[in-house]
Structure formats: C-alpha cells, structure tokens
Amino acid sequence: MFRASSLSTQIHTRKFLLANLSRNILQSNLHRDNKNSEVIPIRTNYTSSTNSQISNLEKCILAVSSALTAFCDPGRGDMIATLGETTGSIFINRMRDHMLRDKTGRRILRERPRIHSSTIDIPYLSSLPLGTFGKEYTNFLDGQNVTPDTRVKVQYIYDDELAYVMQRYRECHDFFHALTKLPANVEGELALKWFELAQTGMPMTLLSSIFGPLKLSSKERERLFKKYVPWALQCGSQCKFLLNVYYEEHWNKNIDEMRNELGIYLVD
C-alpha cells in the first residue's frame, strides 16, 4: 500500500513538473512573437514612481470602492474594469487555462493580437458585404459611435500573460455584441454580462448582473429576467469559449455560419 501511494504521488508530481516545465518553455518563447504588444502597451504607462504591486488590503478596499462607485455612477467604465481586475485573479487564471487547452487559444496566447484601430483596418471591414462578420462588427461600432480604442488598460494584473488575457477579454466585448446581436443599451449590456458570467464566471460579471438590474425600471427588469437572462445562461454555457476564437481571421465569414459553428443562437 505504501508503494502504491508513493507511485501515484510520483506520477502526480511528475505531471505537475511537466506542466510547469512546458509552461516555462512556452513563456520563454513568448517574447519572440510579441510584436504587437510592444507597439501598443497592454498596461498603463507607469509614469510615476515604482512599479510596486498593490497590497492585498489595498486590493480589497479598491474592489469594494470601485464596486460602489460603479453602481452609483454607471458611466465610470474604468471602475468596472478595476473591479474586474481586483476580483478576478482565480478566474482569469481559469480563462487562461481554458485558452491553453484549445489549439486556437494557444495560438492567440502566443501571438497576442491586439484589437486597436491601428491593428485592424476598419474602413476595409465596413466595405465588406452585408452579412459578413466584419461588416456586422463595423455596423455595431458605427451605431454606437465608438472605436475599439476606448478600452481601459490593465493596471492591477502583474503577470504579462494574464494581463493579456484580461485585455483580450475586454477587447472582444464588441465582438460578442456583434455575434449575439444585442444592442448596446443598458438592457443589452446586462444581458451580455449574464452571458459573460456563464462563459467566464468572473465575480465582476456576477456583481454587475445582480446589481445592474436595480437601475432599470420594473418593466425592463421583467423583460430582462424573462427573456434575456435564460437565453444568456443557456447560450453562454453551451457555446464555445469565445476567447478561443481568432476573430481577426474571420472577417469575411458569413455571420450566421459563424454563429452556427460557435453554437450561438439569437434571442427571440
């Protein structure tokens, strides 16, 4: 019995060591392919003082105060971002591991593409035929009068890869809108938050999903919980993990075909 348990421990430890070794190799190779992330920094420029990491106490205080600020002033998108970063540690790790298990996800982590007006050609995308993913995306952007440059940079995640995962998650938010055809009003954003909750499980999405509807009127709330939330939870949990899609390679694809492949169905 002693020998059997020592064998299983050894196998377990070796698997763990092997996983760490491969991760080390992967990380050491990453710098070679990081052209994009050097051009557009992922994290805020530390113009001041030291690059010291914040303490856990500060993280707690920041999480609570950013949650309160975001609730009181929904226009503060940067507060939601901060809330996500301070509360999301385990879940971002899980998202990264999810990406590592998929072939395309691994390629995204290696190449680290960025979605920025300097890396994607928006005029070209708006010239694509109607019904393609690129055209739907630019229609959405034009409808909201936004550019992909408005995303807040990562501040409180100190590991490069995790910071990239967070940044990619933020940048893909508009793609989710295009794929699920949800409008960018409060209802649509909340429905999308429920969808992201089902996909990623992040506490920030949970908090937004629970406290966000308090800001709606009762009729809107009823519609949200009757129509959108069941769809979001169902669709979000059954479709492919959306961060594993290399969106930059699918501009020309027909959007309905793309939805079929990913397992997304629209709200009725």
Tell whether residue 150 is a contact of another protein (CB under 8 A).
no
Site size toward another protein, by CB under 8 A? 39
- Candidates 15, 25, 29, 58; binder of another protein (CB under 8 A) is 58
b/e burial code for range 183-202 (CB count within 10 A of at least 16 → b): ebeebbbbbbbbbbbbbbeb
Tell whether residue 149 is a contact of another protein (CB under 8 A).
no
CA 228 to chain centre: 20
For residue 207, report the phi and psi dihedrals to the nearest 5 degrees.
-65, -45
Instruction: Please return the burial class of 143, using the count of CB atoms within 10 Å of its CB with bins 0-12, 13-18 and 19+.
Output: exposed
Q: How far apart are the first and last CA of the chain?
A: 59
Tell whether residue 61 is a contact of another protein (CB under 8 A).
yes
Stretch that binds another protein, among 103-111, 120-128, 152-160, 219-227 (CB under 8 A): 152-160
Residue 177 annotated as binding site: yes
Q: 156 is written with which tokens? A: 């409180």
Is 168 or 177 the residue whose CB approaches another protein more closely? 168
- Distance of closest approach, residue 93 Cβ to another protein, in angstroms: 11
Tell whether residue 145 is a contact of another protein (CB under 8 A).
no
Q: Report yes or no: 138 and 126 within 8 Å, Cβ to Cβ.
A: yes
Tell whether residue 66 is a contact of another protein (CB under 8 A).
yes
Q: 74 is written with which tokens? A: 């929904």
Residue 31 annotated as binding site: no
Q: 228 is written with which tokens? A: 């959108």
- Distance of closest approach, residue 42 Cβ to another protein, in angstroms: 9
Q: Please tell me whether residue 46 adopts helix, strand or coil conformation.
A: coil
Q: Please tell me whether residue 251 adopts helix, strand or coil conformation.
A: coil
Q: Which of 98, 78, 211 is nearest to 156 (CA)?
A: 78
Tell whether residue 35 is a contact of another protein (CB under 8 A).
no
Q: What's the CA gap between 196 and 92, in Å, rounded?
A: 13
Tell whether residue 102 is a contact of another protein (CB under 8 A).
no
Tell whether residue 39 is a contact of another protein (CB under 8 A).
no
- Distance of closest approach, residue 31 Cβ to another protein, in angstroms: 9
Is 50 or 218 the residue whose CB approaches another protein more closely? 50
Window 185-224: contact mask with another protein (x via CB under 8 A): ----------------------------------------
Q: 255 is written with which tokens? A: 């959007």
Binding site for another protein (CB under 8 A): 6, 9-10, 13-14, 16-17, 20-21, 23-24, 27, 43-44, 46-55, 57-58, 61-62, 65-66, 69, 76, 78-79, 82, 155, 158-160
